[in-house]
Structure 1
């Protein structure tokens, strides 16, 4: 039996990776687990949550899958990519998928372009229709500074461990991601020590890579990578 653990990002929810999980379940007979990290979900409650609680929660789900399945893959999106990377250094997972993994964060060049579009919509009286604006504002309003500090601590904790990754790894990054810059994917690719590793850049994709227009092509690449013999 085969299972796939999918881990969402900081201030996110399973929604961020659900399209991939649904695609996997439609095209395979694998079990997909998509846990909600502590303090996350449709209603954020991040006050008082420590970064190690996010890691431990994903860890417990993975240990359960490893007890019940011979083959377990791990997928991580954004901050979830860092958590997935940590798990790959500690547990016998078979392959690792990193989507917009946040070894670095804030792509200032793309963020500047997004802000220009937001400003244009503001002067046209269409600001409430701008999806990027609504997402940024919701994140800002519901994210305590302490939670952002915990996110940064998690990144600092995991980055030195990336060199310990030896399992086959696929890294995917959105070309127009305003949150995680392309250099993050390049850094991970050059740092991990997997003999079988691949990096792909998804054109026109912003941060929510599992919701981009070319997601089905990306999902097929992921399944192909997971199913191929090492």
Structure 2
């Protein structure tokens, strides 16, 4: 039996990866599971949460899947990509998918472009319609500084481990991601030591890559990669 575990990002929820999980369920008979990391979900309660709690929660979920399935794949989005990478260094997963994985974060060039769009909508009186503005403001309001520090600690902890990854790995990165820069995907590709590795750049995609306009093509690439012989 086969299972696929999906890990969402910092301050996020299963919604970030649900479109991909749904697609894979529709095109396979695999068990798909999206755990909600401590402090995350529809209502953020990040105060007092340490980064190792996110790692331990993901480990517990993965160990349960490994007990029940011969083959387990792990998909990680944004910070979840770093957690998925950590798991790949410790557990016998078969393949790894990294989506907008935050080995580096904050793409200042794209962020400036996004801010210009937000400002233009402000002067047109269309702020409520601007999804980028709503997302950024909600994240800022609900994210304690201490939680951001824990996120940075997680990145610093996992980044030196990336060279220990040897399982087949697919990396996907949105070309217009304002949160994670292209150099993050390039760094992952150059650092991970898997013989079978692939990198995909998704045109016009911002950070929420599983919700972009080209998601169907991306999902096809992902499931093809997972189903092909190692």
CA distance in 2, matches of 1:3, 1:168: 16
**Counterpart in 1 of 2:81?**
81
Q: Residues 73-118 of structure 1: CA distance to partner in whole angstroms, max 9, x if unpaired?
A: 0000000000000000000000000000000000000000000000
Aligned with 1:101: secondary structure?
A: coil
Q: How do 1:164-179 residues align onto structure 2 when only pairs under 5 Å count? A: 164-179=164-179
CA distance in 1, matches of 2:135, 2:199: 27
Q: How do 1:124-143 residues align onto structure 2 when only pairs under 5 Å count? A: 124-143=124-143
Aligned with 1:193: secondary structure?
A: coil
Q: Residues 152-176 of structure 1: CA distance to partner in whole angstroms, max 9, x if unpaired?
A: 0000000000000000000000010
**Counterpart in 1 of 2:66?**
66
Q: Residues 56-76 of structure 1: CA distance to partner in whole angstroms, max 9, x if unpaired?
A: 001100000000000000000
Which segments of 5 or more consecutive residues in structure 2 lack a partner in the other structure?
Answer: none
Q: Residues 173-203 of structure 1: CA distance to partner in whole angstroms, max 9, x if unpaired?
A: 0010000000000000000100000000000
CA distance in 2, matches of 1:23, 1:229: 20
Q: Residues 121-148 of structure 1: CA distance to partner in whole angstroms, max 9, x if unpaired?
A: 0011111110000000000000000000
Aligned with 1:179: secondary structure?
A: coil
CA distance in 1, matches of 2:21, 2:127: 32
User: Is 1:215 the counterpart of 2:215 in the alignment?
Assistant: yes
Q: Residues 16-66 of structure 1: CA distance to partner in whole angstroms, max 9, x if unpaired?
A: 000000000000000001000000000000000000000100110000000
Aligned with 2:6: secondary structure?
A: strand
User: Is 1:226 the counterpart of 2:226 in the alignment?
Assistant: yes
Structure 1 runs (4+) greater than 6 angstroms displaced: none
Which segments of 5 or more consecutive residues in structure 1 lack a partner in the other structure?
Answer: none
Q: How do 1:105-116 residues align onto structure 2 when only pairs under 5 Å count? A: 105-116=105-116
Aligned residues: 230
**Counterpart in 2 of 1:96?**
96
CA distance in 2, matches of 1:209, 1:88: 22
**Counterpart in 1 of 2:27?**
27
CA distance in 1, matches of 2:58, 2:95: 16
CA distance in 2, matches of 1:117, 1:202: 21
TM-score, length of structure 1 as denominator length: 1.00
CA distance in 1, matches of 2:66, 2:217: 29
